[in-house]
Amino acid sequence: MTMPAGAVADRLRLMLAEVTGRPEFASVPDETALLHGGVGLDSLAGTLLLRRIQREFGVDVAAEDMNLDALETLATLAAFVAERAGTVS
């Protein structure tokens, strides 16, 4: 069973606010870039986000996505996680 991407995106927004310490990120739009401009995750905040995603959704983004393209925008990350969450791989 997969999860709705919208629900995953909402959860990811809260995680973004937590790992960056920027509460305003809890309401960024879906098309916000995560690495360049936009949220501007650095390697520390990015790693914390990936660890939380793994803990909460059981999806190891770094292991499945060599170039971390999933981190392009909030929407691409939510879709990537939603597709894999709750499935046994």
Contact set with other proteins (CB under 8 A): 20-22, 35-36, 40-47, 50, 60, 62-63, 66-68, 71
User: How near is the Cβ of 23 to other proteins at its closest, in Å?
Assistant: 9
Chain mean position to CA 25: 12
Residue among 62 and 79 whose Cβ is closer to other proteins:
62
User: How near is the Cβ of 1 to other proteins at its closest, in Å?
Assistant: 26
Residue among 27 and 36 whose Cβ is closer to other proteins:
36
Nearest to 5 by CA among 51, 74, 89, 67: 74
Torsion sign across C-alpha atoms 41, 14, 83, 87: positive
